[in-house]
Structure formats: structure tokens, C-alpha cells
Structure 1
Amino acid sequence: MLKPAALPFVLALLALADAASAARPMITDDARLTDAGACQLETWAHLHSRQKEWWALPACNPGGNFEITLGGALAYSEGERESGALLIQGKTLFKPLETNGYGLGLAFGYATQPGNGQSGSPYFYVPASWSLADDRLVLHGNLGYTRERENQDTRLTWGLGSEIQTSERLYVIAETYGQDKGAAFTQVGLRYWVVPNHVQIDTTWGSQFGHMRDQRWFSIGLRLISPRLF
């Protein structure tokens, strides 16, 4: 499952959308959907030096090849409540990801960011994924555009990410992402299945190139996937 510089994670989300759509804890999205007929809930805390954000992003795939996500965040800056964030996104696949193969899709949506007086941004991007070594290594690439309504600027967005399976339940993730203007972001993290395919916990550390000390953040999250509902 982006996103620019005052709040690294949120701006990454706007540029790549993916916070929302990429499987936690990645920002770079993958060519996968929530299980057909099922729903999932991704929730996490994003802790920046001056701001704390609490995110919840429910998503459902009722028809099998179209996933819709609708959620948002509460934000606090230096202890003071700020306006929250909202994200709505649709996603479909042209080619589902297969073991030792590739997948390709399309995602589009509209997102606002935490902070008083912030406007929203429509966006779209193409997620592509490649499976290697029987899914023990999966690579992801995103390319898209976002329209920043506040300054009437259209920007190219991109992301490159990887998932490495180190045991039956543990994965290591690493990625970099950004826009055609400004320094890129990077993050590394862990993903662990408490209950395989249904309950996952994760954590990340990230920052922005050129501002590694000032812009660093930490996140911890929980992902719940339902059985088939539809």
C-alpha cells in the first residue's frame, strides 16, 4: 500500500494512498485486495516528535475485485487537538498477484490530512507487485499523481517497497517513497501474524532523507481480517 514534508507519514499517505490501502505497515501499496467477501480493519498509532495520530481504516471487498476503504485519523499536536483526517479509496486489480508471478492494479481516492485549515487531495496510482522465491520475497512499486488543491499543484508520486519472510509468521519490510518534488521518505519495520491471515501486529521506524533527526517517527499497529461475510 502516498505522500510530502511537515508530517512525513500523512503526506506519504496523501501521495501514495496508501497508508490506507497498503497492508500495514507499508506505505507503498501492493497488487492485492482484502479477501473476496471479507472486510479488514487497520488501526495504528503514528508518533512524531510534535504530533500524535490515531488511525482507523476499515476496508471491504464485497464483490471479489473491488475494495473500498473509508476511514480517518484523530491528531494531537503538542497536546492540543487538531482537525482530523479523512480518506476514501477504491481499488481494483487488472491481474492478481500470484506466487512467483506479478500483479497489477489501480487505486484512486480522496484524502485530507491532519491539521487545522488543511484541504483535501484527489489522487490515483498504479500498484505493481512481483513475487520471488515462493513468496519469501515480494517487491512492490507504485506510480501515480496527486492534485494538491491547496496550492493547485499536480505532483507525481512513487514508491518502492519489499517484504521479506523470515519465518512462518514474521516479515521484515523496507521501503522508500515520495514525490517528484522534495526529499524522499524511508521506513523499515516488522509484521507478525498472531493468528495467521486474521490478526497481525506491526511496528515501523521512518524518517525523511536529509532530515533524519527532525522528521523521524515511530508507529505501532493492529490489523484484523474477518472471515467471509458476503
Structure 2
Amino acid sequence: MRMTKLKRLALTNTLVLGCLATGSAAANGGHFLVDDATITDPGTCQLETWASRFSGESFWVLQPACSTVNGWDFTLPAVYSWGDNEFVELGLEVKTILSEDFAGGALAITLGTFFDLVDDEFAGGFVNFPYSRALDSYWTLHLNAGAEYDRFSSNWDATWGVATTYALTQHIELIAETAGIGSDDPIFGIGARYAFERFDLDIGIARVTELNDTVYTIGFNVAF
């Protein structure tokens, strides 16, 4: 399926609500390509979901996530294909903060694995190290470095990502990012998020240069 590489990049992102009012590092999360070095508040859960349109196909992603009181974040992303009328991929991700004071920012690690529900077999896994640093009261930098294993090709490929977030207002955040896998051409994206008290709304557009195609996404996140 042509969506696989994009979805595996997108699904490495962890479920974290944007915390503009707290002054902490802004969270990308969800369908955005570049992860941040934060987790869901310990002892709480959230549900993040989004719909994407890509190359004439529509996909829906459902991602529930919960964090333990000792700081481990668990996420179960599931990908549904509207064209096939079925769930096509299921994942499991675990994330924790390694340091809140690393080179002036925060450093985390995420480990994940994916299962192909169509062929009923293990599809691959990844490790990612997100780094986030607030540059000032408006701008935040996010860097990602890691590796991804594709079981079908039996290859490990390096993964990377760079993003900046800008706090336009107390509730509105703008995001610009780029990310890639191995020697593939990078993906470029822009988006915006509006943060309410307990939930967020966001939109995004990503250009997949290797496939010369564009992904359009709208998402919704709620904490409980």
C-alpha cells in the first residue's frame, strides 16, 4: 500500500496535548511527522483521532494513550482504510522521558511495533529519540533521530525529523516540519492547532516528495 511509509512516520508521533498555557515545550503529536519530548500527564489518558486523504484514498487513525504514574506512556494506534472498509494496521508504542535537562531541552525515547491486519503478520518496528527545546516564549524546536525496521525488506533504515512550533496566541499554535526515512526523499508539512481546555482541533498538509502527492488531515484530541 502506498500509504505505508507515510503512516509509519506519522504513527511514531506520540499522543500529547498542546500545553500552550503552561509554557512547556509545544507538543506536535498525532498526525504530525515530528514527535516532541513530552508524554501524556502521568496517571491520565487521552484519545487522539484524525482523518487523512492521500492519493485518492481516505484513512482514519484512532490512538488511545495512557501514562503510568511513574512516567511510561503507552499508545495503541490503529489505522482504518475507508476504501477497504477495514482496519489495516495496529501498533503498540511505549515512550518515556530520558532527561528534562539535556543540552538545554528535554530528551525522550519511543519504541514501537506494527502489525499488518490485512496479511495478519508482523510488519516492523522503530526506535525514535525526540528532543525538544524552547527557544523563546514563542518558538520551540523539535528534533527526531532514530531507526525503523521493515520486516518485508528485512532492512533497518535511519529516520529523522525537524520541526518548529510557533505560539501565535495562547490557544493557537503553528507547526512547520520535515521528516524522512533512509534515502527516501523527505516529507514536508505545515499545520495549525487550536487548544481548548480539555481538547484540541488541528489541521495539516504534508507534501510527500518521493510520491509527488499531498496528504490532507484534520484531527481531534481529548484528554480525560
Q: Name the TM-score, length of structure 2 as normaliser.
A: 0.85
Shift of 1:30: 0.4
| Structure 2 residue matching 1:44: 3-state secondary structure | strand
Corresponding position of 2:20: none
| Structure 1 residue matching 2:106: 3-state secondary structure | strand
Structure 1 residue corresponding to 2:8, chosen from 14, 28, 32? 14
Structure 1 residue corresponding to 2:220, chosen from 219, 222, 225? 222
Corresponding position of 1:166: 168
Shift of 1:170: 0.4
| Residue 129 (structure 1) aligned with residue 135 (structure 2) | no
Paired residue type of 2:79: A
Q: Structure 1 27/181 Cα, relative in aligned 2: closer, same or farther at 3 Å?
A: same
Shift of 1:12: 3.3
Corresponding position of 1:44: 50
Shift of 1:160: 0.7
Q: Distance in 2 between matches of 1:204 and 1:33?
A: 21
Q: Structure 1 117/181 Cα, relative in aligned 2: closer, same or farther at 3 Å?
A: farther
Paired residue type of 2:93: Q
Corresponding position of 1:87: 91
Q: Distance in 1 between matches of 2:30 and 2:145?
A: 19
Shift of 1:117: 7.3
5 Å-filtered alignment, 1:70-219, equals 70-77=76-83, 80-81=84-85, 83-96=87-100, 101-112=104-115, 119-134=122-137, 136-193=138-195, 195-196=196-197, 198-209=198-209, 211-212=211-212, 215-219=213-217
| Structure 1 residue matching 2:76: 3-state secondary structure | strand
Q: Distance in 1 between matches of 2:116 and 2:161?
A: 19
Given that 2:11 and 2:31 are in contact with CA atoms closer than 8 Å, whether structure 1 keeps it comes out as: no
* Structure 2 stretches lacking a partner, 5+ long: 16-27
* Structure 1 stretches lacking a partner, 5+ long: none
Given that 2:78 and 2:91 are in contact with CA atoms closer than 8 Å, whether structure 1 keeps it comes out as: yes
Q: Distance in 1 between matches of 2:216 and 2:119?
A: 23
Shift of 1:88: 0.4
Paired residue type of 2:215: W
Q: Structure 1 112/186 Cα, relative in aligned 2: closer, same or farther at 3 Å?
A: farther
Given that 1:16 and 1:157 are in contact with CA atoms closer than 8 Å, whether structure 2 keeps it comes out as: no
Corresponding position of 2:37: 31
Q: Structure 1 95/143 Cα, relative in aligned 2: closer, same or farther at 3 Å?
A: same
Corresponding position of 2:22: none
Q: Structure 1 39/97 Cα, relative in aligned 2: closer, same or farther at 3 Å?
A: farther
CA deviation vs aligned residue, 1:86-137 (integer Å, no higher than 9, x gap): 1100001112379x94000111010246866775111111110111212x21
Q: CA RMSD in A?
A: 2.4
Shift of 1:220: 0.3
Shift of 1:83: 4.9
Aligned length: 212
Q: Distance in 1 between matches of 2:108 and 2:48?
A: 20
Paired residue type of 1:92: T
| Structure 2 residue matching 1:96: 3-state secondary structure | strand
Paired residue type of 2:47: L
Shift of 1:211: 4.2
Q: Distance in 2 between matches of 1:123 and 1:222?
A: 25
Shift of 1:181: 1.8
Q: Distance in 1 between matches of 2:207 and 2:116?
A: 18
Shift of 1:24: 3.1
Q: Structure 1 54/168 Cα, relative in aligned 2: closer, same or farther at 3 Å?
A: same
Task: Report the identity percentage.
Answer: 23
Given that 1:13 and 1:19 are in contact with CA atoms closer than 8 Å, whether structure 2 keeps it comes out as: no
Paired residue type of 1:123: F
